[in-house]
Amino acid sequence: MPSIEVCFFETKKALKEAGIAEYEAETGVIFEHLGIGRMKRLLDGKEELSEELYEKLSLMVEKRRTGYPLAYITGIKNFAGFDFKVDENVLIPRFDTENLVEEIRRYCKGKRVLDLCTGSGCIIIALSLLGDIASGVGTDLSPKALEIARENAKRLHADNVKFFCGDLFDALVNVNEQVDQKQDALQEERSSAENERFDIIVSNPPYIRTQVIETLEKQVREYEPRMALDGDGDGLKFYRKICRGAKRWLTPSGILAFEIGFDQADEVSALMKENGFSGIRLIKDLNGLDRVLVGFADLEEKDHV
Ligand code: GLN
């Protein structure tokens, strides 16, 4: 078997040839995943790689060369300093989304927070771990995504976060359908969530315009869940629905915060204003692109439907 050093070099080369921009960093992540951190590489670089690890490495490199996302290969993505489990059922948490977490962190101490389109649960779990929230709820239409979100909450000990399945706010509503015994506990939790209002609603919903999806890079377009990307013809479907529904679920002085696409600030802030939010603030990401909108409800009791 070749040495660790040689394998590292060959991996970098293979990923570079496959056109992977971050080939150097990704090689580091692959080796970490194999249990060979930077120190080990530097100190024991001349050691042979075991046959078992060599096989694992070859498989990972082959998959990655086809454009399959690295996070799905390792099954892990770091977000806001925590390792989240991910698979093909969830959008891979983005570095850009940390802007939303950073922004909301300063408002959320002791608050009840709702995260719509929670996916892997990364936003609400990070807020629970970093922001000292009173409690959190995440909802998503995909039951498989919620399995991952629940597992993440468990692994990371975000014990005050619950997840419900359904379309946006509908997930919170106690539908009067026949439920089997196993569902009873969940149903009870749901109906208590239904009577609850939230101090903060956050969401990073699917916001890519349908026609634009085909132009995204292969690793996104082919492997990440389409339902986590597609915001319909104008990309605004979820913002529209969330803005309309937010009043029913927010406390009178609640906060609504979104991640947005770089060209959606005007349209989304208009939707927020139309639905009774003011003091809207736009936050840019590190690349200087519009990324987060935060709005403040100022709802009279009479507005409280
Ligand atoms: N809220 C999750 C995230 O930010 C999933 C978002 C989505 O599915 N659009 O990663």
The string of DSSP letters for 76-94 reads EEEETTEEEE--TTSPPPP
pLDDT of res. 160:
97
> For residues 200 and 239, is the Cβ–Cβ distance under 8 A?
no
- CB-based burial of residue 177 (10 Å sphere; 0-12 exposed, 13-18 middle, 19+ buried)? exposed
Q: Whose CA is nearest to atom 8 of ligand 1?
A: 228
> Residue 191: what pLDDT?
65
Please measure the distance between the N-terminal and C-terminal CA atoms of the chain and give it in whole angstroms.
Answer: 69
Rg of the chain over Cα atoms, rounded to whole angstroms, equals 21
The answer to whether 95 touches 74, Cβ cutoff 8 Å, is no
| Band of pLDDT at residue 53, cut at 50, 70 and 90 | very high
Alpha carbon of 45 to ligand 1 centroid (Å): 39
Task: Give CA–CA dist 303/305, Å, rounded.
Answer: 6
Report how far residue 136's alpha carbon sits from residue 117's, in angstroms, rounded to the nearest whole number: 13
**Dist. CA 289–CA 27, nearest whole Å:** 28
Q: Which of 289, 295, 296, 297 is nearest to 99 (CA)?
A: 289
Whether the pLDDT of residue 206 is over 90: the answer is yes
CA of 98 to the centre of ligand 1 (A): 11
**Which mutation among 122, 165, 258 tests ligand 1's pocket best, with the greatest number of atoms within 8 A of CB?**
122
CA of 37 to the centre of ligand 1 (A): 29
Ligand 1 pocket: which of 77, 90, 103, 229 to mutate (most atoms within 8 A of CB): 90
How many Å lie between the centroid of ligand 1 and the Cα of residue 201?
Answer: 14
Average pLDDT, integer, range 260-266: 97
Question: Whose Cα sits closest to atom 1 in ligand 1?
Answer: 118
- Provide the pLDDT for residue 299: 62
Q: Per the confidence metrics, is the pTM higher than 0.95?
A: no
**Considering only CA atoms, which of 161, 151, 92 is closest in space to residue 126?**
161
Look up residue 56 and give its two tokens.
């694992």
CA of 205 to the centre of ligand 1 (A): 6
Tell me 171's DSSP state: G
- Contact between 64 and 15 under an 8 Å Cβ cutoff? The reply is yes
| Predicted pLDDT of residue 302 | 46
What is the token pair recorded at 224? 């990440």
Averaged pLDDT, 150-162 = 98
What DSSP string describes 220-234?
A: HHTTS-GGGTB--TT
| Window from 10-19, 36-45, 119-128, 193-202 with minimum mean pLDDT | 193-202
CA–centroid distance, 121 to ligand 1, in Å, is 8
| Average pLDDT of the chain to the nearest whole number | 93
Nearest residue (by CA) to ligand 1, atom 5, is 119
Asked if the model's pLDDT at residue 40 lies above 80, the reply is: yes
Segment 121-153, tens digit of pLDDT: 999 999 999 999 999 999 999 999 999 999 999
Compute, in angstroms, the gap from residue 144 CA to the centroid of ligand 1: 14
Mutate to test the pocket of ligand 1, among 120, 167, 208, 232 (most ligand atoms within 8 A of CB): 120
| Protein residues with CB under 6 Å of any ligand 1 atom | 91, 93, 97, 117-120, 122-123, 204-206, 228
